Amino acid sequence: MEMAKKSRKVSTASFTKQSNIINKKLEDKPLPLVEVRALMNALEVKYDEIRNLDASIFEYMLVSDPSEEQLELETEVVDEYVSKFHLLKEQTNDFLKGTLLKLTAKALTRLLIRSQIC
């Protein structure tokens, strides 16, 4: 179980670093759409890795007959990364949708202007 916890610690540190990079990219003007999507996909892979480690750790804990307090502490650790991931995923989706809508609106405006000129 200790090896799984050490591995999770490394994975969560990497997750935090990647999520901070995505947050900074979401502030960039213009928003680098492809880069943000690629970073989010990479973060999702890291998130899945953490979830698998969490499941392994939880299984080890159940075998060792943990106290309710130990299970609650472990659940809090898991919930923290689940919440972080889903919040960032929603923020990223909102930014990407907003940016695409703006680009679409600009393109439609250009088409309307061109059609009025012709």
What is the C-alpha separation between 69 and 15, in angstroms, rounded? 26
Amino acid, res. 91: Q
- What residue segments make up the domains of the chain, in order of their start? 2-117
Q: Which sign does the torsion angle of CA 106, 29, 101, 40 carry?
A: positive
Tracing tokens 């690629």 back to the chain, one arrives at 38
Torsion of CA 21, 23, 29, 31, to 10 degrees: 80
What is the C-alpha separation between 103 and 34, in angstroms, rounded? 14
pLDDT 10s per residue in the chain (118 long)?
Answer: 889 889 999 999 999 999 999 999 888 777 778 888 899 999 999 999 999 999 999 899 889 988 999 999 999 989 999 999 999 999 888 888 877 777 777 777 776 777 777 5
